[in-house]
Copies of this chain bind each other. A is one copy, B any other.
């Protein structure tokens, strides 16, 4: 787990990369971009919000690019550390995370197709 600083415009991860970390935004704003619309973020991640978790939970490759919309500080958490926290969570909490993740991935696919 480490704190990283990025300048506005820097890329944190790209489509197709293995999902090796999840991220928590400490300051600044990070945009997530579909490959079909590389200029407009489909979502903006703000302070105290996480991103990059879906690929980690589902063990899939990155399906979007993350770039800094401003100078940013983020905490980068290794896949294994996150999965340990996830696995030791309450059964209902785990089912919830899995459901939200699946539904968000499905919603994103529909949104990507509608662009």
Contact = CB atoms under 8 A, between A and B. Distances in A.
Interface centre among A45, A51, A96, A106 (most CB of B within 10 A): A96
Nearest to A107: B107
B110 A50 contact: no
A114 B114 CA distance: 8
Instruction: Classify the interface of chain A: helix, strand, loop or mixed.
Output: helix
Interface string A16-36: 000000101000000000000
This chain: how many copies in the complex?
2
B99 A92 contact: no
Return the 9 tightest CB-CB contacts between A and B, nearest first: A107-B107, A100-B100, A49-B99, A50-B99, A85-B90, A104-B104, A50-B96, A114-B114, A50-B95
